[in-house]
């Protein structure tokens, strides 16, 4: 990273998984629309529309980004001369931070080296130093986290209200979530060297279902 910070907007039509590893940069995520699941340890922490999430230096994590999610990332170099938060967690983003993320997507700021973009990111770094990550979930995020946990094992939502909340916050259904996590499991099994048939058996799905998923998510499996 040449500069002390770098902004990236992820808005892809395909299901995206980032590798699980420690990164030398710290990152501030802002989900403008959709859902991101942050894998910390054995838990997938949901970050929904309008929420922010802080990942400190050296944090072991991976991201699951459903199709058409719009998420901003401000990656920060360890060369920075500011004190930054050390725990990971959800953060309340100031109106200035949100406006800055949006501004960096406008034509005047899209050149990463432009003077305007650097000034905006300097202001953002000042704001980041004031953030206080929290590990406790509000009631909406707690409900969404339960949906995520249920979807991973193929369970239905606890009730109709919970499913409605999921759809309102993320534009996704439980079936969508379950399919995305199944793809993640199958992809991991394939990357470990298993054949499609053995990978399917290892995660408890049929060969036909595995072949169908591979055909529909080819780009994701090959990434």
* Nearest Cα residue to 27 out of 47, 43, 13: 47
Yes or no: is domain 5-128 CATH 2.60.120.810?
yes
- Compute the distance between CA of residue 77 and CA of residue 74 in angstroms, rounded to an integer: 10
pLDDT the model gives residue 106: 82
Q: 47 and 66 in contact (C-beta within 8 Å)?
A: no
How far is C-alpha 104 from the geometric centre of its chain's CA atoms?
Answer: 19
Q: What is the largest CA-CA distance in the chain?
A: 54
Whole-structure pTM value: 0.93
Please check the confidence at residue 51 and state whether its pLDDT lies above 60: yes
Helix (H) or strand (E) holding 37: strand 35-40
Domain boundaries, the chain: 5-128, 139-222
Tens of pLDDT, residue by residue over 160-184, are 999 999 999 999 999 999 999 999 9
* Residues 53-96 pLDDT 10s: 999 999 999 999 999 999 999 999 999 988 999 999 999 999 99
Q: Are strands 60-65 and 21-22 parallel, antiparallel or unpaired?
A: antiparallel
Q: CA 113, 114, 119 angle in degrees (round to 5)?
A: 105
């Amino acid at each position: 990273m040449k500069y002390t910070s770098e902004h990236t907007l992820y808005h892809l039509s395909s299901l995206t998984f980032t590798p699980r590893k420690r990164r030398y940069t710290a990152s501030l995520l802002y989900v403008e629309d959709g859902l991101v699941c942050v894998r910390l340890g054995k838990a997938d922490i949901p970050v929904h529309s309008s929420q922010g999430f802080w990942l400190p230096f050296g944090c072991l994590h991976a991201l699951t980004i459903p199709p058409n999610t719009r998420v901003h990332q401000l990656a920060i170099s360890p060369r920075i001369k500011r004190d930054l938060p050390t725990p990971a967690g959800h953060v309340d983003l100031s109106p200035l931070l949100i406006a800055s993320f949006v501004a960096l997507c406008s034509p005047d700021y899209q050149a990463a080296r432009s003077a305007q973009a650097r000034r905006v990111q300097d202001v953002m770094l000042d704001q980041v130093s004031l953030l206080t990550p929290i590990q406790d979930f509000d009631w909406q995020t707690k409900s969404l986290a339960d949906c995520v946990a249920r979807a991973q094992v193929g369970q239905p939502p606890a009730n109709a209200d919970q499913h409605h909340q999921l759809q309102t916050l993320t534009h996704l259904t439980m079936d969508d979530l379950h399919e995305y996590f199944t793809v993640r499991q199958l992809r991991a099994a394939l990357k470990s060297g298993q054949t499609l048939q053995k990978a399917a058996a290892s995660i408890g799905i049929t060969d036909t279902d595995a072949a169908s998923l591979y055909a529909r998510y080819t780009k994701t499996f090959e990434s």
